[in-house]
Amino acid sequence: MSQAVEGQVVMPFYVLCDVSGSMWADMPALNAGLAQLRQAIMRDPVVDDLAMMSVIAFADTAHTVVPLSFPSQVEPPTLVSGGLTNFGPAFREFHRAFEADRIRLKSEGKRIFRPCVFFLTDGEPTDGDYAQVFASLLRYDVVTKQGNPRYPYVTAFGFREATAETMQTLTYPDFGEKRGRYFLAREGAVVSEILSAIAGAIATSIVGSALSTGSGKPQYMPPAKDSVGGMKGSLIR
């Protein structure tokens, strides 16, 4: 069982999954993808000692279904669908969870890398104030130093009804000093195949990020623009 030693860097990754009613047919593929993701990460014992993973499900509301843990300690969830596609609760729950996780890990003597969020959705938000919620919790002004200095890296994956305009609002188009990336499904792409490809791309990103700690300069390695079959990737600066 993995357990980071005191003073060791840990890299927290949060997977925010849309489980709204429109995702009902995709639940088997989404659950299989999360299990695939866990297996791919824990395959390397070095990565299993450095990367920590959490899963947050959102629809009308949001809740943490997998608390932040090392991959070998994670119990793969069985997500079920139902409700609207509210983005705001997803980011409120991420913010709440990370702040609690940060306090816990710091009390254990761990050094915590900037959190990384992978956001998966099949549509447009049904809550009109999600952008304000997102900004109020995560916005940071690098000039005035106002806002949340622990804002996460965000990589968003949109398919079916999701639009590029909305995905851009989640990947820091106008604030922060970190690059964001979003992926949008190509026309005619099969969602079950996309979800499997997303799981593989996230796993590669987590493994590469965790292994970068060996250089003494850990860094987030976002999925490559062409790494998700059936999706096109765009970089936001």
Domain presence at residue 220: yes
Domain presence at residue 33: yes
What is the total count of domains within the chain?
1
Print pLDDT tens along the chain (237 aa): 455 455 688 999 999 999 999 999 999 999 999 999 999 999 899 999 999 999 999 999 999 999 999 999 998 899 999 999 999 999 999 999 999 999 999 999 999 999 999 999 999 999 999 999 999 999 888 788 889 999 999 999 999 999 999 998 898 766 666 668 999 999 999 999 999 999 999 999 999 999 998 877 889 999 998 999 999 998 765
Find residue 118's DSSP bridge partners: 15, 155
> Cα separation of 11 and 100, whole Å?
15
Structure tokens at 85: 């596609």
Looking up residue 157, the CATH number of its domain turns out to be 3.40.50.410
Domain presence at residue 1: no
Domain presence at residue 2: no
Residue 50: helix, strand or coil by DSSP? helix
Domain presence at residue 3: no
Domain presence at residue 222: yes
- The single-letter code of the amino acid at 82 is G
Tell me the C-alpha to C-alpha distance, in Å, between residue 94 and each of 3, 16, 104, 202: 23, 8, 15, 18
Which residue range(s) make up the domain with 169?
A: 9-236
- What is the Cα Rg of the chain in Å? 17
Question: Residue 63 CA to chain centroid, in angstroms?
Answer: 14
> Cα separation of 172 and 131, whole Å?
11
Sign of CA dihedral 35, 31, 54, 64: negative
Give pLDDT, residue 161. 95
* Predicted confidence (pLDDT) per residue in 103-161, tens digit: 999 999 999 999 999 999 999 999 999 999 999 999 888 788 889 999 999 999 999 99
Contacts of residue 138, Cβ cutoff 8 Å, sequence gap at least 6: 91, 95, 147, 148, 151, 152
